[in-house]
Amino acid sequence: MSSTILPPGLQGDLQEVISGGSTDWLDYQFVKFYTNAYIFQDDKLLLGYKKRGFGVGKYNGFGGKVDPGETPDQAAVRELKASVSNRYINKRLKRTQEEAGIDAPLQHCGTFLFVMKPGPEWAFQIELYRADTYSGTLEETDEMRPQWFSVSPPSLDSAVAEVASKAEELSEAPALSSIPFASMWEGDYLWFPFLLSNQHFTGRVDFEEVDGVPRLARWWFGVPPRNPTD
């Protein structure tokens, strides 16, 4: 039986892969759910450059809030369509326009909880999805500009070793590939190895603002226990 002590807010049978920071875990009152979807094709990863609103100027996967009455799986499909099509008008009404946006066989690949200080009283829980193919036409919208980046999926062990060696320095993100970590959310590089190596993961990051910039204060990421016969 695993004896790992999980950070508050995380659940499941998980084995720690990477952790760091020494502050107490931050308190929060409730959780708000979001989705983020990543499309791979051959050796490329599709990211979106956020042109306005929350996260403007950053590259990210395609996603948004989970609406009331919606499952994260449903929200992930809706947000993926809406993010890359100007013709997908009824985002909030969830009325699917078959010809618009892109469809992908999204697979849930991880859960990432984060808390900000100073920040809202809630924790953000992002359900992460990936797909190795898609159908439809990519379009730049007034919110997102889709862009492909080359990736060379590492083995989980080599990727995590690289991240672990860099993370303690709390400075530059490691050069896992041509992924533009410097223009992404602080901390994405901690869990990207799991995404790239298609390893289901669960993790938490606490951020504390320094000079107006969110900095990693404490983090923990784990994976389901490996089968000893694998």
Ligand X SMILES: COc1nc(N)nc2c1ncn2[C@H]1C[C@H](O)[C@@H](COP(=O)(O)OP(=O)(O)OP(=O)(O)O)O1
User: Using CB under 6 A as the criterion, which residues of the chain lie in contact with ligand X when the complex forms?
Assistant: 34-36, 53-55, 60, 63-65, 114, 124, 126, 185, 187-188
Which of residues 119 and 224 has its CB atom nearest to ligand X in the complex?
A: 119
Beta carbon of residue 228, minimum distance to ligand X (angstroms, whole number): 33
Which of residues 34 and 226 has its CB atom nearest to ligand X in the complex?
A: 34
Which of residues 35 and 141 has its CB atom nearest to ligand X in the complex?
A: 35
Which of residues 123 and 126 has its CB atom nearest to ligand X in the complex?
A: 126
d(CA 224, CA 125): 19
Task: Tell me which amino acid residue 115 is.
Answer: V
Q: What's the burial of 193, exposed, middle or buried (CB within 10 Å: 0-12/13-18/19+)?
A: buried
Structure tokens at 55: 């996260």
Beta carbon of residue 11, minimum distance to ligand X (angstroms, whole number): 20
Q: Are strands 201-210 and 107-117 parallel, antiparallel or unpaired?
A: parallel
Which of residues 33 and 134 has its CB atom nearest to ligand X in the complex?
A: 33
Closest residue to ligand X: CB criterion:
64
- Phi first, then psi: what are they for 175, rounded to 5°? -85, 75
Beta carbon of residue 17, minimum distance to ligand X (angstroms, whole number): 18
Nearest CA to 54 out of 38, 73, 32 is that of 32
Strand partners, 50: 144
Beta carbon of residue 229, minimum distance to ligand X (angstroms, whole number): 34
Beta carbon of residue 43, minimum distance to ligand X (angstroms, whole number): 22
Nearest CA to 82 out of 65, 57, 59, 58 is that of 65
Query: To the nearest 5 percent, what fractions of the chain are helix, strand and coil?
Result: 15, 35, 50
